[in-house]
Amino acid sequence: MAEKSLADIQREVDAYIGQFKEGYFSPLALMARMSEEVGELAREVNHYHGEKPKKPNEEENSIEMELGDILFILSCFANSLQIDLTEAHNKVMNKFNTRDANRWTRKNAEQ
């Protein structure tokens, strides 16, 4: 499958949601759904990397699928508020590259 940009993902999600009369959920409902999905991701991380193994009767799931669910909800959230995730990402990276430029030890730092 070809790589998709954030814009491609946002357009694909918008086309999917656009099929339905209900449209996007409210920002508050989307926040609740995002929180729910992050909780499901936490559970999967705990199963695979933590001290809480799955119960024998628990449904099989994956960190990959939970991250995908979060990306879908994030795209819904951004689309519903007319936020361009690429632009949001660029602004955040600028913040990290300026405000936090010297916060962490760089790998190529001289000893």
Please report, for residues 5, 8, 9, 86, the alpha-carbon distance to residue 2 in angstroms, rounded to integers and kept in the order given: 10, 11, 12, 18
Task: State which residues form the domain around 77.
Answer: 26-98
List the CATH number of the domain containing 75.
1.10.287.1080
Do residues 28 and 54 make contact, with C-beta atoms less than 8 angstroms apart? no
Residues of the chain short of pLDDT 70, as ranges, are 109-111
- Is 36 within the bounds of a domain? yes
User: How many other CB atoms are there within 10 angstroms of residue 74's CB atom?
Assistant: 20
Give one DSSP letter per residue of 29-87, joined into a string.
HHHHHHHHHHHHHHHHHHHHHSS-PPPTTSPP--HHHHHHHHHHHHHHHHHHTT--HHH
Q: pLDDT tens for residues 6-30? A: 999 999 999 999 999 999 999 999 9
- Is 107 within the bounds of a domain? no
